[in-house]
Amino acid sequence: MERDYLTNLLPLHLFLREADKILKNNPDCRYAVTVTDLSNFKYINDLYGMAEGNRTIQEMAEKFFSGNPRCILASRPYADQFRSLIAIGDVSQDEEVAIITNMNTEFTEYIQKRYPNIYFHVYTGLYIIEDNSEGIRSACDKAHFAKKCFKGNLSVTCGIFDSNAYKDSSNVMRLTHEFQSARERDSVYVYYQPKCSASTGEFIGAEALGRIADKDGNIISPGEFIPVLERTGIIGDFDDIIMEKTFADIRRWIDNGGNVKPVSLNISRIQFLKPGLIDKILALQKKYDIPSRLIELEITETTFIESVDFIDDTARELRRHGFTIDVDDFGSGYSSLSLIATLPADTIKLDCSFARQCLDNDKGVILLSGIINILRSIGFDIICEGIETECERQRIMELGCDKIQGYYYDRPMPSASFEEKYITKQ
Ligand code: C2E
Ligand code: CA
Ligand code: CA
C-alpha cells in the first residue's frame, strides 16, 4: 500500500478508505478521531533547517501514531498536521482527554528542550464517534472543528468536540448560504408593518422589515437569520438591498398617487462602522427622488449606547439632511436616562417586551407613565411597538402614547398587500 515517504503513514485518501472499512465492519467498537498539529513547526525549518523539520515530523509520527498501540490508522495530510483513528475501548471521554494531554505535554517538553528558541504547543482536536455509521469524513470534520475552537488558547492542548458549538457554526454556514442564494434569486423581500394612531386608528407610517425566502419560497424569519448575518458582517449587504427596495417602493407609491407616509428602516451597527452610510442614503434619495421627511432610520438603543460618539455624529448628520432618527428597542438594554436625553434622535420606540412587562402590573404602569412623560418633556416623539390587544392599546394611549405599531393593527406584510391595503387611495 502507498505510504508517506517521511512517516510511513497512509496518504489521506487511503486513510479515509481504510478507516471507513473499519468503522463499517466493527459497528460495536468505540473509536475516536484526532486531528493534531504542532504550533510554530515551520520555524524549525526556518531556524534549524529542513532536516531538523523532517526529523521532528518523524518523531511526532512515531510518538503519537506508529508507536502508539491504541492508534489503528493515521495519516499526515500535509506538513505537521496528522489525523488518526484510535480504538478507545471502555475509556471515558475525560480519560481519553487526559491520555492525549499527557502525550502532548511530554512531546512539547521534549521538543522544547531541543529547540529552545521556539515556543511550541501541540494542539489536538478530539471527536469520539457516537455511531460508527456516521463515516470517517464527518468524524474528521468534527475533530478538526474541535481543534479550531480552542486554537490559540495556550492552556489547552486537547479540545473535545462540542456539538452545540458545531450546530451553531453549521447554522451560520447554512444561513449565510441561504442569504447569498436568495440574493441571486432576487428572493430578498421587504415586508411592511403599519404604524397607527392609537386614538383614531389612522395609518401614520410603516416599518420596513427584511425577509428572505428559501428556494421553495418559504419565508425565513429575521429572528433566525439577522443575528447570524450580524455576526458575519454580511448584514450590511442585506440592509443595502432592503434600503434600495424600500426607496424604490416609495417612489412607485408616490408615482401612483398613493397615501404615502414615512417609512422607517433598520440600520444595523455594522452599517455605521463601514464608511459611506450617509453617502449611500443620499445617493438612493437622489436616485429615487424621495423627500427626506418620508425616511426614518431606526438605530437600536444598544448601538447608540455602545458606540456613542461615532454613531452620534452620523445620526446628527442624517438629521441635518432632514431624516428622522428613531431609537429602536428602547427599554430592552441597560441605558442611562441621562445619556438618552442627549441622543441626537427624534423618536423613541418603546420595546414591545418592555412595554408589555410594564403594563402587566401597577408599579410597571407608573414606571412606564413616568418614562413616557419624561421622554415627551425632553422633546421626543414616542411610539410603542408590539401592541397586540385592545386592552394594551387602551392603556398605552391613556399613558400618553398615541402612536403604536403591533399585531393589533396588522402583522408585517408583503409590499404588494401593504400597498393595496394602506397606500392605494380608495
Ligand atoms: P425590530 O426592529 O424590533 O422589529 C419589530 C419586530 O417586532 C418585527 O419582527 C415585528 O414583526 C415584530 N412585531 C411587530 N408587532 C408585534 C406584536 O404585536 N407582537 C410581537 N410579539 N411582535 C411584533 P421581525 O420582522 O421578525 O424582525 C425581527 C427583528 O429583525 C427586527 O426587530 C430587527 O431588529 C431585525 N430586522 C428586521 N428587518 C431588518 C432589516 O431589514 N435590517 C436589519 N438590520 N434588521 C432587521
Ligand atoms: Ca426596528
Ligand atoms: Ca424594535
Taking only the tens place, the pLDDT of each residue in 252-283 is 999 999 999 999 999 998 888 778 999 999 99
* pLDDT for the residue numbered 331: 85
- Closest ligand 1 atom, residue 242 Cα: 41
Tell me the CA–centroid distance for residue 388 and ligand 3, in Å.
Answer: 14
Residue with cell 455624529: 313
Tell me the CA–centroid distance for residue 63 and ligand 1, in Å.
Answer: 56
Q: Of all protein residues, whose CA lies closest to atom 40 belonging to ligand 1?
A: 210
Position 413 pLDDT exceeds 70: yes
Tell me the CA–centroid distance for residue 267 and ligand 1, in Å.
Answer: 12
Position 426 pLDDT exceeds 70: no
- Closest ligand 1 atom, residue 329 Cα: 3
Tell me the CA–centroid distance for residue 153 and ligand 2, in Å.
Answer: 38
The pLDDT mean for the chain works out to 93
* pLDDT for the residue numbered 271: 86
Q: Of all protein residues, whose CA lies closest to atom 24 belonging to ligand 1?
A: 222
Decide whether any atom of ligand 1 lies within 6 Å of the 329 Cβ: yes
Q: Which residues have CB less than 5 Å away from ligand 2 (the ion)?
A: 266, 298, 328
Decide whether any atom of ligand 1 lies within 6 Å of the 239 Cβ: yes
Decide whether any atom of ligand 1 lies within 6 Å of the 268 Cβ: yes
* pLDDT for the residue numbered 342: 84
Tell me the CA–centroid distance for residue 203 and ligand 3, in Å.
Answer: 18
Q: Of all protein residues, whose CA lies closest to atom 13 belonging to ligand 1?
A: 386
Tens digit of pLDDT for each residue in 197-232? 999 999 999 999 999 999 999 999 999 999 999 888
- Closest ligand 1 atom, residue 387 Cα: 18
SS (H, E, C) the chain: CCCCCCCCCECHHHHHHHHHHHHHHCCCCCEEEEEEEECCCHHHHHHHCHHHHHHHHHHHHHHHHHCCCCEEEEEEEECCEEEEEEECCCCCHHHHHHHHHHHHHHHHHHHHHHCCCCCCCEEEEEEECCCHHHCHHHHHHHHHHHHHHHCCCCCCCEEECCHHHHHHHHHHHHHHHHHHHHHHCCCEEEEEEEEEECCCCCEEEEEEEEEEECCCCCEECHHHHHHHHHHHCCHHHHHHHHHHHHHHHHHHHHHCCCCCCCEEEECCHHHHHCCCHHHHHHHHHHHHCCCHHHEEEEEEHHHHHHCHHHHHHHHHHHHHCCCEEEEEEECCCCCCHHHHHCCCCCEEEECHHHHHHHHCCHHHHHHHHHHHHHHHHHCCEEEEECCCCHHHHHHHHHCCCCEEECCCCCCCEEHHHHHHHHHCCC
Decide whether any atom of ligand 1 lies within 6 Å of the 310 Cβ: no
Position 339 pLDDT exceeds 90: no
Instruction: Name the residue of 179, 189, 209, 268 whose CB sits within 8 Å of the most ligand 1 atoms, as the mutation to test its pocket.
Output: 209
Q: Of all protein residues, whose CA lies closest to atom 7 belonging to ligand 1?
A: 386
Tell me the CA–centroid distance for residue 227 and ligand 2, in Å.
Answer: 14
User: Any idea which ligand is nearest the CA of 264?
Assistant: 2
* pLDDT for the residue numbered 305: 80
Q: Of all protein residues, whose CA lies closest to atom 8 belonging to ligand 1?
A: 209
**Which is more confidently placed, 274 or 351?**
351
Q: Of all protein residues, whose CA lies closest to atom 27 belonging to ligand 1?
A: 222
Tell me the CA–centroid distance for residue 311 and ligand 1, in Å.
Answer: 21
Position 233 pLDDT exceeds 90: no
Q: Of all protein residues, whose CA lies closest to atom 19 belonging to ligand 1?
A: 386
Position 308 pLDDT exceeds 80: no
Position 119 pLDDT exceeds 90: yes
Tell me the CA–centroid distance for residue 299 and ligand 3, in Å.
Answer: 9
Decide whether any atom of ligand 1 lies within 6 Å of the 69 Cβ: no
Exposure string of 344-372, with b = 16+ CB inside 10 Å and e = fewer, is: bbbbbbbbbebbbebbeeeeebeebbebb
* pLDDT for the residue numbered 274: 79
User: CA-to-CA distance for 76 and 87, rounded, in angstroms?
Assistant: 19
The total number of residues shown for the chain amounts to 426
Decide whether any atom of ligand 1 lies within 6 Å of the 235 Cβ: yes
Decide whether any atom of ligand 1 lies within 6 Å of the 412 Cβ: yes
Decide whether any atom of ligand 1 lies within 6 Å of the 224 Cβ: no
Tens digit of pLDDT for each residue in 33-71? 999 999 999 999 999 999 999 999 999 999 999 999 999
Tell me the CA–centroid distance for residue 99 and ligand 2, in Å.
Answer: 52
Copy the grid coordinates of residue 333: 438594554
Mean pLDDT for the stretch of residues 187-198: 97
* pLDDT for the residue numbered 424: 93
Confidence of residue 335 (pLDDT cuts 50, 70, 90): low
Decide whether any atom of ligand 1 lies within 6 Å of the 158 Cβ: no
Q: Of all protein residues, whose CA lies closest to atom 3 belonging to ligand 1?
A: 329
Confidence of residue 185 (pLDDT cuts 50, 70, 90): very high
Beta partners for 86? 32, 71
